[in-house]
Amino acid sequence: SGIMSVNGKKVLHMDRNPYYGGESSSITPLEELYKRFNLPDTPPESMGRGRDWNVDLIPKFLMANDLMGMFEKRRFRKFLVFVANFDENDPKTFEGVDPKATTMRDVYKKFDLGQDVIDFTGHALALYRTDDYLDVPCLETINRIKLYSESLARYGKSPYLYPLYGLGELPQGFARLSAIYGGTYMLNKPVDEIVMENGKVVGVKSEGEVARCKQLICDPSYVPDRVRKVGQVIRVICILSHPIKYTNDTNSCQIIIPQNQVNRNSDIYVCMISYAHNVAAQGKYIAIVSTTVETSEPEREIEPVLELLEPIDQKFVAISDLYEPTDDGTESQVFASRSYDATTHFETTCNDIKDIYKRMTGSDFDFENMKRKQNDVFGEDEQ
């Protein structure tokens, strides 16, 4: 809604929930989280004040770990220096690598990197979810690692950003952006029917009224007949009274366990934040474990990671279906998003948004068009 409002579209944003963010909201107070997961008890006194908690249902960091043990390894250091200096427009920086032909597997071989370092680089730095990237030309991977390094350089300890008071702040920020540009937001607004004429969307019916529209964007839960199930994700929210071991007692971290290290087809993610981010009571930590479900016993799949978090004061387990749209929306003008996956970063979500934008407008999303208006608080372009 933010992007479309800035682009001059007339936007009405309806949400059946009484809060912003839908699936990706932050739940407060803590009592509400206990209710949501149907726990019979209320939080014990040791959890502190309920309103001090803002617990993300879907954990994500924004790309903006103490890696030095690995960075100091000479071969890996040489590889990182090569990546930092690499410029696709300057063949002098290629060092014999052809960015459009040399595979990433061959680049790793050139620097004689071991399997553990390869797993770490591909999955924790470049954020790939499979190893398919190894056998395609290396340019995209090199650019992904550059993004990580440049983000790390910008913010010092971590390349990731996270909003105080939880991720639920992000959808509220986009709602404000939409409102500045004339968008209307309606919470607690049930969607009774999507009105179609001749195979095209013409409006949305709610409480006896129809809001007419030419295009509709929604998550899969609003259009069950236009999406298909493609898998499941397990997420386990764990409340701790201690930082995760082996993390230098840090008050936030992201742990990515590459698939090869645990004999799986998909990585396991751990995102930890704490009282330092105004999302938990003093001295408390929230660790959220997530992965793509691969067996009929999802909880057993993440057992080795839960052991890493022990002792756990309280855990909340959610298994969610993953959906994707069955068509691209060009006929019906109904554009369904994909469900949030197991990753703890926003890359796949951003790709989905850019893909929907292209299908709706016929052109690629260009950040520069948004940037020009960043000083513009009142929705009036500076001439």
User: Is 114 within a domain?
Assistant: yes
User: Is 252 within a domain?
Assistant: no
Per-residue pLDDT reduced to its tens digit, 128-139: 888 999 999 999
Residue 15: CB atoms within 10 A of its CB come to 21
Cβ neighbours for 188, distance < 8 A, ≥ 6 positions apart: 15, 16, 17, 18
Q: What is the pLDDT of residue 151?
A: 78
How sure is the predictor about 379, in pLDDT bands with cuts at 50, 70 and 90? very low
User: Is 137 within a domain?
Assistant: yes
Q: Are strands 253-257 and 268-274 parallel, antiparallel or unpaired?
A: antiparallel
How sure is the predictor about 163, in pLDDT bands with cuts at 50, 70 and 90? confident
What's the one-letter identity of residue 374?
A: Q
User: Is 136 within a domain?
Assistant: yes
What is the domain range of residue 78? 70-155
Per-residue pLDDT reduced to its tens digit, 280-324: 999 999 999 999 999 999 999 999 899 999 999 999 999 999 999
How sure is the predictor about 67, in pLDDT bands with cuts at 50, 70 and 90? very low
Cβ neighbours for 289, distance < 8 A, ≥ 6 positions apart: 234, 235, 236, 238, 268, 269, 270, 302, 305, 306, 309
How sure is the predictor about 371, in pLDDT bands with cuts at 50, 70 and 90? low
Please say whether the dihedral angle defined by the alpha carbons of residues 352, 357, 358 and 360, taken in this order, is positive or negative.
positive
Q: The CATH number of the domain where 90 resides is what?
A: 1.10.405.10
Q: What is the pLDDT of residue 345?
A: 80
Can you list the positions of beta strands (E) in 123-190? 160-161, 184-186
User: Is 78 within a domain?
Assistant: yes
How sure is the predictor about 168, in pLDDT bands with cuts at 50, 70 and 90? confident
Q: Answer for the pair 153, 351: CB distance below 8 angstroms, yes or no.
A: no
User: Is 353 within a domain?
Assistant: no
Domain count along the chain: 1
How sure is the predictor about 242, in pLDDT bands with cuts at 50, 70 and 90? very high
Calculate mean pLDDT across residues 109-127: 87
Per-residue pLDDT reduced to its tens digit, 181-200: 899 999 999 999 999 999 99
d(CA 327, CA 123): 30
User: Is 120 within a domain?
Assistant: yes
Residue 344 has pLDDT above 70, yes or no: yes
User: Is 219 within a domain?
Assistant: no
Cβ neighbours for 195, distance < 8 A, ≥ 6 positions apart: 201, 202, 203, 204, 205, 210
Please say whether the dihedral angle defined by the alpha carbons of residues 193, 198, 199 and 202, taken in this order, is positive or negative.
negative
Per-residue pLDDT reduced to its tens digit, 260-269: 888 899 999 9
Which residue in this structure is represented by tokens 């007419």? 212
